[in-house]
Amino acid sequence: MHRLDAKDRVSVHVTDEAFVAALDREFSSTQFEPHLDPVFELPGGKRLVFPARQLSLLGTWLSTHRTVRGLEVAGECLRHIGTRNDLELLDRYQIEGDSTEIERVKASARFAVRRRTLE
């Protein structure tokens, strides 16, 4: 993997660069709600999940994307790989924007994680 230069590493699905690039794409693409299914699920139902690493990267990423949109992207990731203990990430940083919208995003992500982790 380290033999590839940085721009080529983004195209290799399991790299940290590919994960962060997907977060950045969803952050920039504001015409739709964030959709990160392709990041975590491959064709055939296989999952590419490395929660400890991805959650660490997500925390670092959110620290520099402290907007409602950044929170939406983080919430979408938590829906896929977060546990109830990981929900603290939603409150870790001061988010800029409308407080009602911020609370809506947090509540939605919490509900989705709690619902998924009941199984």
Give the tens place of pLDDT for each residue, 69-83.
Answer: 999 999 999 999 999
57/14 Cα distance (integer angstroms): 13
pTM: predicted TM-score of the whole model, two decimal places: 0.83
For the CA atoms of 6, 52, 85, 42, the dihedral, rounded to the nearest 10 degrees, stands at 70
* Rg, Å, the chain Cα set: 14
Give the tens place of pLDDT for each residue, 35-63: 888 777 766 655 667 788 899 999 999 99
26/33 Cα distance (integer angstroms): 8
Q: Which pLDDT score is estimated for 110?
A: 97
Q: What is the mean pLDDT of residues 88-101?
A: 97
Q: Which pLDDT score is estimated for 17?
A: 84
- Tokens encoding 33: 């709600």
